[in-house]
């Protein structure tokens, strides 16, 4: 009983301070009846009137404020034995403008809601997170334990910064509808980045880790046509046919050189295949240095060995001008030692 009375007195003091803080030059009137009900009337300079009722035996109370026209502008009620308190503000049209709810003597509300003048929920902030809506009731923003997300009026995700499993994930939609996804492992060792068309077709992606970087390129239908892996001492480029078969595969090694002050790179393997799987060009450099003699084999599409390679009818991505120009690959046809 003593604890309940103490809580009541504390909240009653808070209630009283609230009126003192917002009353300005208010005129006050107190009344107490035989049932220990305390009623306080406060009239403010702007003509508004607040009425507070404190019921000692029920350990509760309520306060209502009305403007000069008699329209309800604010309401507070509380039950001190639990304890809890609720604060509601109103628009001039009578619709709820905001609502706060406190419990267990906390200085932070257990939940906080705001509303539009049409009565629809505008925002809510509680233990589940923060949600923001537009006037039609569409969810526009969400923040919870996973992170933040922003949506358009149709519910489509526009932007996100979330944590999933061991990854921190970022999602971003461009003005033209294209979007990208980037991820970084929480331990900082790995990252992933991808771009998509407005139709959710994968355009390119990149994977990085302590082992190296792998990048991939896709055509307008989402078919892989090029990939490149770059490690500490070796890189591998691969072009693909539309059916997924390897078109060209190139391996470059980087090593220390006694002839150069810095590390140098050498093409150590080059293989080109026809669409039927026949190896048209095979180039191998047994040792990555300019003194090595490469081993070369050339064939036609039928698989017959030939002395001079047939001219290319078309070029893959890695040999096209304006993209990843690799003119030194022409040394493969002469079976010389190309360098980067």
Q: Residue 257: its pLDDT value, please?
A: 60
- 283 Cα distance to chain centroid: 46
Q: Residue 57: its pLDDT value, please?
A: 62
* pLDDT one-digit tens code per residue, 66-114: 988 889 898 888 776 667 888 999 999 999 999 999 887 677 889 999 9
User: Quick one: pLDDT band at residue 33, thresholds 50, 70, 90?
Assistant: low
Residue 19, phi then psi, degrees to nearest 5: -65, -40
Q: 75-90: string of b/e by CB count within 10 Å (b at 16+)?
A: bbebbbeebbbbbbbb
Q: How far apart are alpha carbons 94 and 259 in whole angstroms?
A: 87
Residue 8, phi then psi, degrees to nearest 5: -60, -45
* pLDDT one-digit tens code per residue, 211-263: 899 999 999 999 999 999 999 888 999 999 999 999 999 998 887 665 555 66
Mean pLDDT for the stretch of residues 36-58: 80
124/61: higher pLDDT: 124
């Amino acid at each position: 009983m003593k604890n309940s009375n103490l809580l009541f007195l504390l909240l009653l003091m808070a209630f009283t301070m609230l009126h003192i803080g917002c009353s300005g030059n208010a005129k006050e009137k107190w009344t107490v009846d035989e049932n220990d009900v305390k009623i306080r009337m406060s009239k403010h300079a702007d003509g508004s009137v607040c009425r507070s009722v404190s019921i000692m035996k029920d350990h509760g109370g309520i306060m209502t404020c009305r403007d000069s026209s008699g329209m309800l502008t604010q309401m507070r009620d509380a039950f001190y034995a639990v304890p809890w308190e609720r604060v509601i503000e109103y628009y001039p049209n009578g619709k709820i403008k905001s609502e706060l709810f406190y419990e267990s003597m906390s200085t932070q509300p257990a939940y906080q809601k705001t509303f539009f003048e049409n009565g629809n929920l505008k925002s809510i902030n509680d233990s589940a997170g923060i949600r923001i809506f537009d006037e039609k009731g569409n969810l526009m923003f969400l923040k919870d334990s996973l992170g933040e997300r922003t949506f358009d009026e149709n519910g489509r995700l526009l932007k996100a910064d979330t944590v999933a499993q061991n990854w921190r994930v970022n999602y971003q939609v461009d003005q033209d509808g294209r979007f990208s996804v980037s991820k970084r492992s929480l331990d900082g060792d790995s990252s992933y980045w991808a771009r998509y068309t407005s139709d959710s077709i994968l355009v390119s992606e990149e994977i990085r880790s302590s082992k190296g970087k792998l990048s991939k390129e896709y055509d307008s239908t989402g078919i892989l046509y090029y990939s490149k892996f770059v490690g500490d001492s070796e890189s591998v480029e691969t072009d693909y046919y539309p059916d997924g078969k390897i078109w060209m595969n190139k391996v470059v090694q980087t090593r220390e050189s006694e002839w150069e002050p810095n590390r140098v790179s050498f093409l150590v393997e080059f293989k080109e295949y026809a669409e039927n799987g026949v190896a048209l060009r095979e180039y191998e450099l047994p040792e990555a240095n300019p003194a090595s003699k490469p081993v070369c084999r050339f064939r036609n599409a039928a698989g017959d060995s030939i002395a001079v390679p047939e001219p290319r009818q078309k070029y893959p991505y890695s040999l096209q001008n304006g993209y990843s120009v690799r003119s030194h690959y022409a040394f493969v046809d002469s079976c010389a030692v190309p360098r980067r």
